[in-house]
Structure 1
Amino acid sequence: MMSGSEIPTTLLLLRHGETALTAEKRLSGSGGSDPALSEIGRRQAEAAAELLAARGAVHAVVSSPLRRCRETAAAAARRLSLQLRIDEGLLEADFGVWEGLTFAEVRERYPVEFAAWLESPAAVPGGTGESLDSVTRRVALSRDKLLARYQGQTVLVVSHVAPLRTLVRLALGAPPAALFRMELAAASVSEVAYDGNGNASLRLLNDTSHLR
């Protein structure tokens, strides 16, 4: 039987539900508009909340401050009878002048900058945006704070593609290029467990079974 110190700390990673920009596959970071969930997104949030309520044993709900995440997280917090906490470190990246564009449009209009961004995590997207290196630093800091505060508990983390992919990448010890090789659909659930030494184990990735 495990002692308290041996019980892993689990982060359930929930991507926000769909917005109008999500459906059109347009970049929607922290530097553009702050869209609300669409009707589909609200249904996805409720479906995810139902899944999490059925799972049980969630001790805290923490969200990015952006509206689409707060709305998704609020649905879960209501079902779980938990207070919603906001963490600025879980913000999506700022994509600068790329905000609102599709990847195809970025590739066409800013080919050199886009290639550099895919090649190097130090590259700044859209001229004034946030590098993936910067995203990694703040997400890792938020992760460490959560692991310290909720040792041995399960925390629902509601965030965006870049921060959630970063948490998965760091858990796997994978290189930065791995960020572009994983799918995290709207309202998908992933799960990472951390032992007392901080060693991570990816237990679930991009589960959308509750949306079918």
Structure 2
Amino acid sequence: MSTAWGAHDTEPTRLLLLRHGQTPWSVERRFAGREDIPLTEDGHAQAKAAAQRLASRPIDAVVSSPLLRTRDTAAYAAEALGLPVEIDEGFVETDFGAWEGMTFAEARAEAPVGVDRWLADPGTAPPGGESFGEVVRRVVAARDALVERHRGRTVLVVSHVTPIKVVVQQAVLAPLDALYRMHLDTACLNEVDVFADGPMVVRSLNDTAHLD
């Protein structure tokens, strides 16, 4: 894919990347990876608000991570848009292994050296989990396959913090360390255009206007 700036001959594939709504673990700031955590009451309200905002957008497909919190968030948008939900395993959250369900402080108290290594090196994984480097390879493959299936269309992807950050990081050609420097609120909306004949372009990041 070219990295040059210039005019494009194709319509982009527009990815609307929606983080799932609030969960009990997001409130408590716990590592939430593959555990099937439900939305809170506020999380359902956030998902409904996002769906209302997206209802007027020309969206062609709705894709979701397989986890409950993303499927429930996606269901509101899919109903508003009159579209089915396509499940894509590639957009599932990072596997945090032994740290799943812990707060950052709890993980650091149990494994201070391991947490420091994880923070310093995207190639380091939590015990029994997945490194950010592995997540990048998985998400890039899922993104490429999605764009191939829906080339030139607008796709709503309901996912999690890390996969959304990866799409943005890849779009701006940032180093993997950039994953540690982004903040995404629950139910935030992010937009990335993917051009077949040019670079990816980030149009918005951590947009929560629908939650105001």
TM range (shorter): over 0.9
Aligned to 1:37: 39
Amino acid at match of 1:52: L
> Retained in 1: the 8 A contact 2:18–2:157?
yes
Give the superposed CA RMSD.
1.2
Partner in structure 1 of residue 125 of structure 2: 124
Identify unmatched segments of 5+ residues in structure 1. Answer: none
Letter of the aligned partner of 2:117 in structure 1?
A: A
Deviates more, 1:65-74 or 1:100-109: 100-109
Runs of 4 or more above 6 Å deviation: none
- Matches of 2:161 and 2:115, distance apart in 1: 18
Contact 2:193 2:200 in 1 (8 A): yes
**Structure 1 position 196, deviation (Å):** 1.6
Is residue 17–residue 186 contact of structure 1 (8 Å, CA) maintained in 2? Answer: yes
1:47 to 42, 46, 49: 49
Cα distance, 1:146 vs structure 2: 1.0
Determine whether 1:163 maps to 2:167.
no
In the alignment, structure 2 segments of 5+ residues that lack a partner are: 1-7
Q: How does 1:91-110 map to 2 (within 5 A)?
A: 91-110=92-111
In the superposition, relative to structure 1, how do residues 149 and 198 fare at CA in structure 2: closer, same or farther (>3 Å)?
farther
Aligned partners of 1:177 and 1:105: how far apart in 2? 23
Alignment partner of 1:204 is 2:204: yes
Change (3 A) 1:154 1:96: same
Query: How far 1:197 moved relative to its partner?
Result: 2.2
Give deviations 1:83-110, integer Å, cap 9, x for gaps.
Answer: 1000000110111111111112222221
How many residues are matched?
205
Question: 1:198: how far off?
Answer: 5.0
What residue in structure 1 maps to residue 82 of structure 2? 81
Q: CA offsets, 1:54-85, max 9 Å, x none?
A: 2x110000000000000000110000001100
Distance in 1 of aligned mates of 2:88 and 2:12:
22
Paired with 2:139 and 2:194, the residues of 1 have a C-alpha distance of 15
Q: What is the rounded CA distance, in whole Å, between the counterparts of 1:197 and 1:70 in structure 2? A: 32
CA contact (8 A) 1:5 1:152 kept: no
